[in-house]
Structure 1
Amino acid sequence: MVKFRLPATFVVAQVRLQHGELAYGYANGWLDDASAVGIAEDLVATGAALPPVVELASVFKGELWRVPRIVDAIEVEPASAPDRVWLYLALAWLHEHKEGHADPLQVIEMLYADFDYPAEIDGLVRYLPAPPGARIGVDAIEERWRAYLYRRSTEYASRR
């Protein structure tokens, strides 16, 4: 399982999370306590916060022990797919920090498995055939990776 923590500054710059997405990211280890608080602060600042998120935003640095209990009170919206935004965030972080990984494409393959084989990134997985009519090879995968990130960033930009 691939796990790296994403700082609040990175997440907030990419997308305005919905409440359930914040809870999902924390529960699945993508966020540490301080980042969860930072994202809650952003949601409060934009006027998009419900009571548990407002409480989370009010947690002081010395009170981070309170974060798990507060996050547990945040409900995941039934119609949402919080893993989808976290797949995007993980791939965006990996793309920006490729140099820190010996084989970023292998990390993509692990994320592919961790996120239950999402069809939307089939074209980024080396051991799968390229999409029909698409070029093959590492450069082509890199191009599809950038295109995926652009599509998702455009989609999530509408939340701002």
Structure 2
Amino acid sequence: MDSGIPKRKMACHSPDVREARHHQRETNQTMNDVVRFTIPADFISSRIALTTEELVCGYRKGWLSPAALAELAGDLSADLPDLPAEEELLYLLPSEIEEKVRTAVLARDDVDCADPEIGKVWGYLALARLNERRDTISGFWDVIAMIWSDLGYPDEMEPFIYHMPPPPGEEFGEPAMLRRLESYLADRTRWYRARGGSSPE
């Protein structure tokens, strides 16, 4: 599935870069589960209108709480045939609604959560959430490197991975990495908002 997002040219990596990736794989092999945190529904909806497949995988991968799942699923009820009618949901307690939505989402066993384009959506949202709260996060750049690992080491994230060399002609150091991270997020935010019709904040 082609996302339509402009892609960086594939780099021909030096032995040092390949070794850095190998080191990151070894470091993160047992740490990827630590990266998981839930992302609020309002944070997501301000940036992207999720497809049903993205919603399903976000819940399966642990990025969505049951409450956030229920809040975001409303606009996708046509693609969740096991979801009760809106009139029925009006008479349920919040916990019952969450359980109904969870069951309907998990029934979509036709969704391939290994799709790299779906992974990019949740990688973008996770990075955006982390960046918004970076002053309160210990090991900010380590967590970003673990997300990079979790997504399969995409080339487009390398410019802001702390142990990878910067793009040719660009600076080393955290201030430069932060500029590249925020440029990446701005590009994705514009594209996903245009794709899904979400209004700018």
Count of residue pairs brought into register by the alignment = 155
Are 2:141 and 1:113 equivalent residues in the alignment? no
Residue aligning to 1:92: 128
Out of 94-103 and 84-93, give the one that drifted further. 94-103
> Which one-letter code corresponds to 1:8 in the other structure?
A
Output the CA distance in 2 between the equivalents of 1:141 and 1:53.
44
Secondary structure at the counterpart of residue 55 of structure 1: coil
Q: Percent identity?
A: 31
Larger radius of gyration: 2
Are 2:76 and 1:52 equivalent residues in the alignment? no
CA contact (8 A) 1:40 1:56 kept: no
Residue aligning to 2:63: 30
Secondary structure at the counterpart of residue 46 of structure 2: helix
**Runs of at least 4 residues of structure 1 off by over 4 A?**
56-60, 77-80
Output the CA distance in 1 between the equivalents of 2:149 and 2:95.
37
Secondary structure at the counterpart of residue 63 of structure 2: coil
Output the CA distance in 2 between the equivalents of 1:108 and 1:21.
21
Give the one of 85, 99, 111 matched to 1:76. 111
Give the one of 191, 196, 201 matched to 1:155. 191
Output the CA distance in 1 between the equivalents of 2:191 and 2:172.
26
Q: Where does structure 1 lack aligned partners over 5 or more consecutive residues?
A: none
Residue aligning to 1:15: 48
Residue aligning to 1:4: 37
Alpha-carbon offset, residue 132 of structure 1: 1.5
> Which one-letter code corresponds to 1:71 in the other structure?
V
Q: Where does structure 2 lack aligned partners over 5 or more consecutive residues?
A: 1-31
Secondary structure at the counterpart of residue 140 of structure 1: helix
With a CA cutoff of 8 Å and minimum separation of 6, indicate the structure with the bigger relative contact order: 2
The 1:125/1:53 distance shift into structure 2, 3 A limit, reads farther
CA contact (8 A) 2:159 2:177 kept: yes
Alpha-carbon offset, residue 5 of structure 1: 0.4
Secondary structure at the counterpart of residue 14 of structure 1: coil
> Which one-letter code corresponds to 1:50 in the other structure?
A
Alpha-carbon offset, residue 115 of structure 1: 1.3
Alpha-carbon offset, residue 53 of structure 1: 7.0
The 1:9/1:37 distance shift into structure 2, 3 A limit, reads same
